[in-house]
Amino acid sequence: MAKNYGKDFEQKFKQDFLATVPNSTIDRLYDVIYGYKSISQISDFIGYSKPNIFYLECKSHRGASIPFTNITQYEKLLTKISLPGVRVGVILWLIDKDKVYYVPISTIKKMKEDGKKSIGVASVEEGYNIIEIPSTKKRIFMDSDYSVLLNLEDGE
């Protein structure tokens, strides 16, 4: 059985974010446990680099795409997309493809409206607003440069 790298990827993401986004801070919002399933966080991380605040959900997935059903924070993230200076999206590591993407929640909304069921390499080729994070493959994880997130516009 393949190892689940989800939690390890979150740690690597945080490390790379702090190393590549100047004057930034980022906090992990911990998963609620002990039977409180009706309580959930808005995202995995909240980050800041003046003048932007980031609500970021981290996902790692094997294969060429991840189903929307795996993005459980979608509805909560939607509540933030219209605010100036707020950047809301999913950091997606497609393990088997050695790709890391930033997918704005507004793009996921558009894809759902278009009848799509998942996000992946084909979504990029179809022209959806998905940003590939510059990354270099190491033994297992990618070294990623998240400074490209500083170029996002409102709604991304």
Query: What sections of 54-94 are H helices per DSSP?
Result: 74-78
- 127 φ, ψ to 5°? 95, 10
* pLDDT at res. 1: 43
Which two tokens mark 50?
């003046």
**3-state DSSP helix/strand/coil percent for the chain, to nearest 5?**
30, 30, 40
Report the percentage of the chain scoring pLDDT > 70. 92
Rg (CA), the chain: 15
Query: Is pLDDT at 38 greater than 60 in this prediction?
Result: no
Query: Who has greater pLDDT, 155 or 109?
Result: 109
Query: Is pLDDT at 107 greater than 80 in this prediction?
Result: yes
Query: What CATH code would you report for 6-28+41-141?
Result: 3.40.1350.10
